[in-house]
Structure 1
Amino acid sequence: MPERVVPGRPDGLITLGAADALWVDLTAGSAVPTAFGAFTRSPARARAGYVLLGGRAVTTVRASGGRWSVSVGEVRRAAAELNAVGTDPQDLVRIGPFHGAPWQEADEETVLCWRRRIAGGLWEPGRPQRAARRDLDRPYHLAGIDWRQMLVERTRDGTQRTWWLPRAVVRLLDAAEHAEAQWLQASQTHQAGAAVTGPPSHPRRAARDAGGRQATDPEGPAASLRPYNGELKGQLYSVLSRKPGTSRGVAGWACAVCRTAPAAVLDHCHEHGYVRAPVCQSCNTLERPDHLYSNDIRVANRYTRLFHTDTDDWLRHWHRCPGCRARTTLPLPHLAAWTAHTACRSLRPTHRAPRGRTPCGVLRVSWTGSQNTPRSCLLTVTVDCCPSGEHRLLAQVPYREAVERFRVWLAETAPAVAAAAGPDRLDGLPTEPRPVVADTSGEGLALF
């Protein structure tokens, strides 16, 4: 029988084993599956003074008798936060494998490094593109989350296997990494101060009095991040990315799009080479299509959010590039997606469904030429997977016409963004935009 809270126990503390059972019980109905062992199995660090639960760090204390314990209230609060998270099984973020090692994007000072851990758990040395199946029955967690239940594997061309997680889970794990980094930083500061003022207490725990009463958790990730206010405006990514300390500096900002998660990468325009802003991994992936070939993209349902629900935020973000802003347009792949999803919306057929009618198939847009040769650049919007097999070609839109349509739509939809754009702001721009270089492997999605 699992150990429960003992009435009258000071501070409402329970042992780590009891906390394991309590965490599973409290999150039994969560959309994000959790695993037993959040406090006692790797990569839990309860004996270091904290445990990651969902997107937060929970303090552990050493009670009488030398046993490690945790506050019931803190476990309940972490469980309530996790239970409030919803997931969309269709809204997935690719987490690997990529060329090189994608998990190296995590802050090297953190211990969780969840991308590296997942890659290590799935990759079999000497057997590329094969997912390891050993230990799948063993409960395994990251920040108390059983990621194996959420992992989706996809195979492309019958050979290349890729790994995906729901966007909500990626956000939680990114928040957990940031919370851990903040905890470790606070610990180092505490240790430095203790070396001057007296004997050190536990490096990752603060006490309110000599009785060892538990202090509140460190502030959450959002409270410790500074908002992005255009500090990198007009800088070239090729220059900035080579400066020492850039990655460390990026991690101190909140994502410039969602403004809640810690930034992880510098998003930049691949056509003009300018830095847009620091963004989190989730937002950096959100703007990318499901599939990217040499001149062809699939227009996923999430473009409804980019071009409808959160239009102002995304347009403002894309126009942080001086080249796109001055020409009042978007990079070619984004413009192609907008043309298919928005400008050609009325052309998309519908089919009968149990509840009304549903749009036909899946939108795809391809192009010939490039934005550097606008006279010869043509966007072709098609429909894949039509239920009746009768629909295919929807429209062919010349690049210049697509640009003009976008300008009109921008002025009507986001007048503040449109007012900041215009041809009078060409000073300092490259004489000729960079050509779009297609990444046909789909690994780095270089068009974006």
Structure 2
Amino acid sequence: MARARLCSSCGDQGPYWGGWRTPTTSGYVTRCPPCSGAAFQPYTGHLRGVPYEQLRRRGSRAHDYLCRLCKASQASAWDHCHDHGHVRGPLCGSCNTREGKATPYYFLQLEGGALHLLECRGYKEQRTLPRRFHLDVVRAHLEQTERHGRCRRQPHARELQHTHGAHRFQLECSGWHATGNWTKDITASEVAALVRAFVDKTLAPQEGLPSPGTATGAG
């Protein structure tokens, strides 16, 4: 297994966990981030808004690029939005798996994760995200803003049920004191508003706008 951690270009040894192996058209290759950066070009977003099927007909190769998310490995596939069909960018096998199969809550915390989803022109124009990410935006918001009485600890939130048009979340900080469980109901319109606020905040630096909630005025 030691060979699987050695960069095939420079011979540097990679980390024991989460090494440098990446799939290519000719099999797995082990290459360190600097060597990957020298061998492959960074993706610049030039295919933003292009339909994935059109890209397939062109025969454009994701393998020519660095992964758009980790920026450390050779890309292996063009990730695209399955709802609108727009190309989002080239991803390595690991990052592509994270986007498609990882818990949405953790993917949104990944650096660049939310921006990657918004490479889809459809979702960017609608100021929203794929539906499977909505409740995890709400969960993160509740954990950041809700507190049990005077307790300053950040609680853990999870959805209990969806009834009568509202999502009921249970929040817990019982690890810190005896009674730290309570519920919070979030309506569908509140979910949509929270997702839009999250998207606006994510895009604000790109669009040269102040983040929502930032005070502005004359100096």
- TM-score, normalisation: structure 1: 0.37
1:415 maps to which residue?
204
The sequence identity of aligned pairs, in percent, is: 21
SS at match of 2:8: strand
SS at match of 1:266: strand
1:324 Cα offset (Å) = 0.9
Q: Is the 8 A contact 2:165 2:187 kept in 1?
A: yes
1:317 maps to which residue?
116
SS at match of 1:364: strand
**Paired amino acid for 2:169:** V
**Paired amino acid for 2:128:** T
2:21 maps to which residue?
173
Q: Is the 8 A contact 2:128 2:199 kept in 1?
A: no
CA distance in 2, matches of 1:280, 1:348: 39
2:146 maps to which residue?
347
Q: Is the 8 A contact 1:328 1:418 kept in 2?
A: no
1:325 Cα offset (Å) = 0.7
CA distance in 2, matches of 1:366, 1:326: 31
**Paired amino acid for 1:322:** R
**Paired amino acid for 2:41:** R
Question: For the aligned residues, what is the CA RMSD?
Answer: 4.2
CA distance in 1, matches of 2:190, 2:6: 46
CA distance in 2, matches of 1:391, 1:287: 33
Q: Is the 8 A contact 2:79 2:88 kept in 1?
A: yes
Q: What is the correspondence of 1:49-448 to structure 2 with a 5 Å cutoff?
A: 52-54=3-5, 56-57=7-8, 77-78=11-12, 81-82=13-14, 85=15, 87=17, 168-169=18-19, 172-174=20-22, 177-178=23-24, 220-237=35-52, 239-240=53-54, 243=57, 245-246=59-60, 249-287=61-99, 290=102, 299=105, 302=106, 305-306=109-110, 310=111, 313-347=112-146, 359-360=155-156, 363-365=157-159, 378-382=166-170, 394-412=183-201, 414-417=203-206
1:393 Cα offset (Å) = 6.0
SS at match of 1:234: coil
Give a deviation string over 1:274-329, Cα, whole Å, max 9, x none.
221111122223345656xxxxx7x4xx35733xxx2xx23322211111111112
SS at match of 1:276: strand
1:262 Cα offset (Å) = 1.2
**Paired amino acid for 2:37:** A
CA distance in 2, matches of 1:232, 1:366: 40
CA distance in 1, matches of 2:160, 2:95: 24
1:233 Cα offset (Å) = 2.0
1:343 Cα offset (Å) = 4.3
1:222 Cα offset (Å) = 2.0
Q: Is the 8 A contact 1:276 1:317 kept in 2?
A: yes
**Paired amino acid for 1:226:** Q
1:225 Cα offset (Å) = 0.9
Q: 1:222 to 1:349 in 2, by over 3 A?
A: farther
1:399 Cα offset (Å) = 3.0
Q: 1:332 to 1:182 in 2, by over 3 A?
A: closer
CA distance in 2, matches of 1:242, 1:283: 20
5+ residue gaps, structure 1? 1-34, 39-51, 59-73, 88-167, 184-218, 292-296, 370-375, 421-448
**Paired amino acid for 1:346:** T
**Paired amino acid for 1:279:** L
CA distance in 2, matches of 1:393, 1:269: 36
**Paired amino acid for 1:54:** R
**Paired amino acid for 2:74:** P
**Paired amino acid for 2:85:** G
Q: 1:394 to 1:236 in 2, by over 3 A?
A: farther
- TM-score, normalisation: structure 2: 0.68
CA distance in 2, matches of 1:413, 1:394: 28
SS at match of 1:220: helix
CA distance in 1, matches of 2:153, 2:162: 33
Q: How many residues align?
A: 203
